[in-house]
Chain A
Amino acid sequence: MLTSLHIEGDSLLHRLPVRVKLIALVALSIVLFLSGSLVLQAIAFVLAAGLYLSVGLPLKEAIARVGIVFLTIFFLAAVNLFLLPVGEVATLTLRLMALVLFAAAVTATTTISAFMDEITVLLTPFERLGWLRAADVSLALGLVLRFVPDIFARYEAIREAHRARGLPIRPLTIIGPLIILTLKDADTIAAAIDARGFRRQ
């Protein structure tokens, strides 16, 4: 149900460590936002598009992944054409597309566990301050992945119950029961976690 957007492969981006890719993404966005040069944005766009298309995604899937974001970008670009000089619109649009493509390339070439390792490192300073525990973040993430299929099954059961009674499927009559039924499990799950000593309290 929740399959990661990561794709197997052996491209340059696949081999780079996550940290390098994330720093590159941040650096690229800073450089592109500070620079007003159309040529630079165009070069960045071509490079990002090349990188994204070389990570091994089938073309159809590659387009589908950035499709909605690009649609928004094009719509706003069309609006901008009435308000701003054409050159500026081109600069803004190319910059945004370059960033989106590079970000999509990073997502496609990084596994969830690699991201999680990096997040654990990033959380270390907060852990030292005693604000949170990195292990809790991983636990919470694991819980989400574990319970999404259950909650979806519960949604389908509630929908079936509506059908059986001939009721229309309305957000209100679905969301209330779905949330109450799900959150009522919290005590049992928390007790199970504590009983196993996962959080060492």
Chain B
Amino acid sequence: MNTRDLVLIALFAAIVVVLGLIPPITLGFIPVPITAQSMGVMLAGCILGAKRGALAFLLFLLLVAIGLPVLSGGRGGLAVLAGPSGGFIIGWVVATFVTGLIAERAVREGQAETRQFIGFFLASVLGGIVVLYAIGMPWVSAVTGTPLLTVATGSLAFIPGDLLKAAIATLAARAVYAGYPLLPARA
């Protein structure tokens, strides 16, 4: 790995930490405030690609594990990983990898703008929502004993918010892609 990639990974992990420090943003039409940090998976995958994005989140996971309060709301430490939502936090690494994998293949320079938007949105939804829940929900079910079907039904409440996050991440990722493209330079 060259030094530039190492720095990009570290800087993105730092960005994800800062996204957790930003106060949650309330949107008029959705009652639950949106934490910017939860968009990190989609952003990292779409901006840095599979390998570097996943490594950025692995580094972030390391920060959580060694007891730095880097999760939104000042949470951190092994207790969060041992709790019911630990699977979602560990799942971030895989989710970012899949998001990146799809984004790398779907988005190319010289494509029409709309195609790039669609590519980033697909990557965000499949990686940041489908893969993430596929890891997080069985974990919740295994740890708490709540039947998977119940967990899945309950999780449906978060889907509209997640789709909105995917839309915001798509627009932001495409803005970064236009301004400072990093995705084609695969690590």
Query: What string of 1s and 0s marks CB contacts (under 8 Å) between B1-19 and chain A?
Result: 1111011111111110111
Select which of B17, B39, B59 is within 8 A of A148 by beta carbon: B17
Contacts of A25 in B (CB 8 A): 78, 82
Q: Are B150 and A83 in contact (CB under 8 A)?
A: yes
Say yes or no for B80: interface residue by CB 8 A criterion: yes
* Complex Cα gap A77–B143 (Å): 11
Q: Are A152 and B10 in contact (CB under 8 A)?
A: no
Q: Are A4 and B67 in contact (CB under 8 A)?
A: yes
Would A29 and B8 be within 8 Å (CB), given that A175-B39, A180-B180 are in contact? Answer: no
Contacts of B140 in A (CB 8 A): 76
Q: Are A186 and B8 in contact (CB under 8 A)?
A: yes
Which residues of chain B in 162-184 are interfacial with respect to chain A, using CB atoms and an 8 Å cutoff? 168, 171-172, 175-176, 179-180, 182
Q: Are A77 and B17 in contact (CB under 8 A)?
A: no
Say yes or no for A5: interface residue by CB 8 A criterion: yes
Q: Are B25 and A72 in contact (CB under 8 A)?
A: no
How many A-B pairs fall under 8 Å by CB? 201
Say yes or no for A44: interface residue by CB 8 A criterion: no
Contacts of B168 in A (CB 8 A): 171-172, 175
Report the count of interface residues on A (CB-CB < 8 A). Answer: 74
Would A184 and B180 be within 8 Å (CB), given that A25-B78, A68-B73, A80-B145 are in contact? Answer: yes
* Complex Cα gap A194–B39 (Å): 32
**Which secondary structure characterizes the binding site on chain B?**
helix
Contacts of A189 in B (CB 8 A): 7, 11
Which residues of chain A in 84-109 are interfacial with respect to chain B, using CB atoms and an 8 Å cutoff? 84, 88-89, 92-93, 96, 99-104, 106-108
* Complex Cα gap A103–B63 (Å): 15
Select which of B15, B83, B145 is within 8 A of A69 by beta carbon: B83
User: Can you add 14 more A-B contacts, CB < 8 Å, to A68-B75, A176-B175?
Assistant: A1-B21, A4-B67, A73-B83, A80-B145, A84-B145, A107-B67, A112-B67, A141-B10, A147-B14, A172-B171, A176-B176, A183-B176, A183-B182, A186-B7
- Residues on B close to A: CB < 8 A? 1-4, 6-15, 17-19, 21-22, 25, 34, 36, 39, 43, 47, 59, 62-63, 65-70, 73, 75-85, 140, 143-147, 150, 154, 168, 171-172, 175-176, 179-180, 182
- Residues on A close to B: CB < 8 A? 1-6, 25, 29, 65-66, 68-69, 72-73, 76-77, 79-80, 83-84, 88-89, 92-93, 96, 99-104, 106-108, 110, 112, 115-116, 119, 132, 136-137, 139-141, 143-144, 147-148, 151-152, 155, 169-172, 174-176, 178-180, 182-187, 189-190, 193-194, 199, 201
